[in-house]
């Protein structure tokens, strides 16, 4: 079985739907996370009686951003929520396995804020598992009817969660261009400016669609105007998702005291202790050079420096447990 191919224990119709979803994910334009989410939802609703679905990503120790939600065929608003130790988000992160409604009669799904709560009567929530075993998010399928989901549904949600995580990781690596992260003094990335530019770009695209619909209305072409308005509605859904992710992505609001991840610490240590270049770090950690640049930009943002030489004095003392005399 090739990578990404649905297991043979799926029914032929389900396997075909999953293969199609996988193909759409692979062909989705780089950076189009909303398109990846749509592919997941399309497959879910095709093979199971799903009333609602959502996708979430963890941010920090106790927050989760929900950039994508569909409830009974309608898009919902993105949300950012805090969670405690007795809810589903904490359980998923702790146990790193799929949650099903039947395992506890829905206690976890109803413990915290749940979309459709208390309507949810069946659920499958699969973790988005990173290669190092950490859980970065979740894909959830919800039903408002009891005992709606089968073992095949569980397999479908888990398969889609794996494909989604891989596609998001691939996009993040392929589209991250951090050539500005060099040893120069003026290379710190301005996250506020990035967000302003992203919002401006999206508003500009919306305005273009509005202008085109206005032209069609002025010309008396109601059909063309209706098409433009439908496009505007879809753009609003897409931008809702994208802006929620942009505003909450790691490093978007990080200050000097934000903690580093294990991989960011590994990258920083190789710079501080051994003075390795990005290509040397990539070889040592068996990752791509683009991924090294991504980690390094996060280190810069979190410890409040703008060049590699400063890591020796700032990161070493703050997060690496190194004294100023170590070499």
For residue 2, the model assigns a pLDDT of 46
For residue 165, the model assigns a pLDDT of 92
The model's pTM is 0.67
For residue 57, the model assigns a pLDDT of 92
Q: pLDDT grade, residue 144 (50/70/90)?
A: very high
Q: pLDDT grade, residue 323 (50/70/90)?
A: very low
Report whether pLDDT(231) > 60. Answer: yes
Q: pLDDT grade, residue 256 (50/70/90)?
A: very low
For residue 174, the model assigns a pLDDT of 44
For residue 195, the model assigns a pLDDT of 62
Interval 53-60 mean pLDDT? 90
Interval 190-199 mean pLDDT? 63
Q: pLDDT grade, residue 176 (50/70/90)?
A: very low
Select from 95, 137, 83, 127 the least CA-distant residue to 249.
137
Q: How far apart are CA 104 and CA 312, in angstroms?
A: 50
Q: How far apart are CA 322 and CA 220, in angstroms?
A: 72
For residue 52, the model assigns a pLDDT of 93
Report whether pLDDT(215) > 50. Answer: yes
Q: How far apart are CA 51 and CA 69, in angstroms?
A: 11
Q: Which helix (H) or strand (E) holds 174?
A: helix 151-175
For residue 171, the model assigns a pLDDT of 62
Interval 150-179 mean pLDDT? 78
Of residues 131 and 323, the one with the higher pLDDT is 131
User: Hey, is 192 helix, strand or coil?
Assistant: helix
Q: How far apart are CA 21 and CA 319, in angstroms?
A: 42
Report whether pLDDT(216) > 90. Answer: no
For residue 309, the model assigns a pLDDT of 64
Q: pLDDT grade, residue 304 (50/70/90)?
A: low
Q: What tokens does 41 get?
A: 């939802």
Q: Which helix (H) or strand (E) holds 64?
A: strand 63-71
Q: In sequence order, what are the residues at sequence separation of 6 or more whose Cβ sits closer than 8 angstroms to the Cβ of residue 188?
A: 300, 301, 305, 306
Distances (CA, A) of 316 to 256, 293, 309, 322, 323: 13, 19, 11, 5, 7
**Least confident interval from 20-29, 185-194, 259-268, 270-279:** 185-194
Q: How far apart are CA 117 and CA 216, in angstroms?
A: 43
Report whether pLDDT(295) > 90. Answer: no
Cis peptide preceding 54, ω within 30 of 0: no
Report whether pLDDT(227) > 50. Answer: yes
For residue 92, the model assigns a pLDDT of 94
Interval 56-79 mean pLDDT? 88
Report whether pLDDT(283) > 70. Answer: yes
Across 118-127, 262-271, 302-311, which has the greatest mean pLDDT? 118-127
Contact 244, 65 (CB under 8 A): yes
For residue 230, the model assigns a pLDDT of 86
Average per-residue pLDDT in the chain?
Answer: 80
The per-residue pLDDT for range 77-101, each reduced to its tens digit, is: 888 888 888 889 999 999 999 999 9
Q: How far apart are CA 308 and CA 324, in angstroms?
A: 16
Interval 114-141 mean pLDDT? 86
Measured at the CA of 66, the angle between CA 82 and CA 122, to 5 degrees, comes to 95
């Amino acid at each position: 079985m090739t990578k990404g191919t649905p297991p043979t224990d799926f029914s032929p119709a389900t396997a075909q739907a999953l293969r199609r979803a996988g193909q759409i994910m692979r062909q989705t334009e780089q950076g189009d996370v909303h398109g990846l989410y749509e592919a997941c939802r399309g497959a879910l609703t095709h093979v199971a009686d799903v009333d609602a679905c959502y996708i979430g990503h963890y941010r920090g120790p106790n927050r989760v951003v929900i950039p994508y939600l569909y409830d009974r065929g309608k898009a919902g608003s993105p949300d950012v929520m805090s969670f405690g130790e007795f809810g589903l988000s904490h359980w998923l992160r702790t146990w790193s396995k799929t949650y099903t409604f039947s395992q506890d009669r829905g206690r976890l799904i109803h413990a915290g804020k749940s979309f459709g709560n208390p309507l949810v009567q069946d659920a499958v929530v699969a973790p988005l598992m990173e290669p190092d075993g950490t859980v970065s998010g979740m894909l959830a399928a919800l039903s408002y009817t009891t005992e709606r989901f089968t073992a095949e549904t569980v397999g479908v949600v888990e398969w889609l969660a794996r494909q989604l995580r891989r596609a998001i990781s691939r996009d993040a690596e392929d589209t991250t261009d951090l050539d500005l992260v060099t040893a120069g003094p003026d290379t710190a990335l301005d996250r506020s400016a990035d967000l302003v530019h992203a919002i401006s770009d999206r508003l500009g695209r919306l305005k273009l669609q509005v202008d085109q619909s206005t032209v069609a209305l002025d010309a008396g072409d109601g059909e063309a105007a209706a098409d433009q308005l439908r496009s505007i509605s879809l753009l609003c859904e897409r931008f809702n998702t994208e802006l929620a992710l942009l505003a909450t992505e790691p490093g978007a609001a990080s200050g000097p005291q934000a903690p580093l991840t294990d991989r960011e610490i590994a990258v920083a240590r190789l710079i501080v202790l051994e003075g390795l270049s990005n290509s040397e770090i990539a070889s040592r950690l068996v990752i791509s050079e683009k991924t090294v640049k991504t980690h390094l930009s996060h280190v810069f943002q979190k410890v409040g420096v703008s060049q590699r030489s400063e890591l020796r004095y700032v990161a070493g003392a703050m997060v690496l447990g190194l004294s100023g005399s170590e070499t």
